Amino acid sequence: MELEAGGRTVRLSSPDKIFFPERGFTKLDLARYYVTVGPGILRALRNRPTTLERYPDGVNGENFFQKRAPKNMPDWIPTAHITFPSGRSADEMCPTEEAAVLWAAQYGTLTFHPWPVRRDDVDRPDELRIDLDPQPGTDFDDAVRAAFELRNVLQEFGGLRGFPKTSGGRGLHVFVPIEPRWTFTQVRRAAIAVGRELERRMPDQVTIKWWKEERGERIFVDYNQTARDRTIASAYSVRPRPHAPVSAPLSWDEVGVAHPQDFDIATMPARFAELGDVHADMDDHRFSLEALLELARRDEHDHGLGDLPYPPEYPKMPGEPKRVQPSRAKKQPPAAP
């Protein structure tokens, strides 16, 4: 069958294929959902290199992340050339029309993972993304408490405004639109400064410890989500869980009131029809990271708090501490004199 999105028609094959058996949602339900929220998800993806998380046979089937633009992608969907930490590179799709989202859904894309850059400058992020990740023993309500203090931190260091959304799971994401002046390394440094300040204010509730064995029952500020090639599910993306939840943009008045299970492909269309995209004005703002980078400089100069470990697949970075979990480091014999 054929569906229309943003004035363009896209063919949908096997529309009756079950994608979410627990709820009975089909491929057609998924596609219609993305048509309904088209303006919102396009705002989140527009001109961004985007990785596709694909489940061609539904949520219970095999899945994979597609970084390289598919060979059969229509010529009306542009691409951007991006470089990975390994030194390899690829052309990734950059949606500029609502129909691009629908086209990806036709091939089983549930979740869209956009880079925090635009295709006209793929080396300088225009979003600072803070991922509040509940650890075992904590839950969404704990992430909410951290988010409100995070809001204060952002306001105090540069008058930054964060835009919160559910992750589609147990966590919360807060995105800050920034001027595209800084490198990935500098933006990550700003995220570390945010996490450390939040940890100082809520030491029993928040941690920035990279190693899981050190985190305890606290909310982890995942600073490495700002590293190059690390992405976060976009607003309105469907998440690969049995009840078909979606990552829902929230106003700050809704944080602490709304719950992640309130938002799925059956309920979000009505909300979108009533409220539209509650983050519609996000691209109207551009904030500076100078105050956060100054905080990072003071942390290092006054307290000896430098860089933190990168993910294991990254090459060793300048100034990075040893990438060895503490329990293993203790077992290693001392270096010979």
Strand, helix or coil at 147? Answer: helix
Determine the pLDDT at residue 325.
85
Q: Comparing 16-20, 85-89, 199-203, 237-241, which segment has the lowest mean pLDDT?
A: 85-89
Residue 337, pLDDT > 60, answer no
Mean pLDDT to the nearest integer, 165-170: 96
- Please give the distance of CA 50 from its chain centroid, rounded to a whole number: 11
Contact call for residues 52 and 95 (beta carbons, < 8 A): no
Instruction: Report yes or no on whether pTM surpasses 0.75.
Output: yes
Phi, psi dihedrals of residue 92, rounded to the nearest 5° = -110, 150
Answer for the pair 52, 65: CB distance below 8 angstroms, yes or no. yes
- Model confidence at 331: pLDDT above 80: no
> Is the pLDDT at 306 greater than 80, yes or no?
yes
Residue at token pair 């430098």: 306
Q: Is the dihedral of CA 60, 65, 71, 74 positive or negative?
A: positive
| pLDDT at position 327 | 84
Query: Concatenated DSSP letters for 182-220?
Result: S-HHHHHHHHHHHHHHHHHH-TTTEE--SSHHHH-SSEE
pLDDT-derived band of residue 164, with 50, 70 and 90 as boundaries?
A: very high
Percent of the chain with pLDDT over 70: 98
- The answer, yes or no, to whether residue 190 has pLDDT greater than 60, is yes
Q: Which residues contact 173 (CB under 8 A, 6 or more apart)?
A: 129, 130, 131, 132, 164, 165, 166, 167, 232, 247
Band of residue 310 on the pLDDT scale cut at 50, 70, 90: very high
Q: Which contacts of 142-145 are long-range, i.e. CB under 8 A and separated by 24 or more positions? A: 142/205, 142/218, 142/219, 143/170, 143/171, 143/172, 143/219, 144/172, 144/255, 144/256, 145/202, 145/205
Residue pLDDT, tens place only, 111-143: 999 999 999 999 999 999 999 999 999 999 999
Which residues, in sequence order, are bridge partners of residue 3? Answer: 10
Q: Distance between CA atoms of 121 and 141, rounded to whole angstroms?
A: 37
Average pLDDT over residues 166-182: 97
pLDDT category at 18 given cuts 50, 70, 90 is: very high
Q: Is the per-residue pLDDT at 145 higher than 80?
A: yes
pLDDT at 288 over 90: yes
What backbone phi and psi angles, to 5 degrees, belong to 113?
-115, 90
Mean pLDDT of the 297-320 span = 93
328: confidence class by pLDDT, cuts 50, 70, 90:
confident
- The number of angstroms, rounded, from the C-alpha of 73 to the middle of its chain's C-alpha atoms is 24
Let me know: does 25 contact 220? Beta carbons within 8 Å. Answer: no
Q: What are phi and psi of 52, to 5 degrees?
A: -100, 125
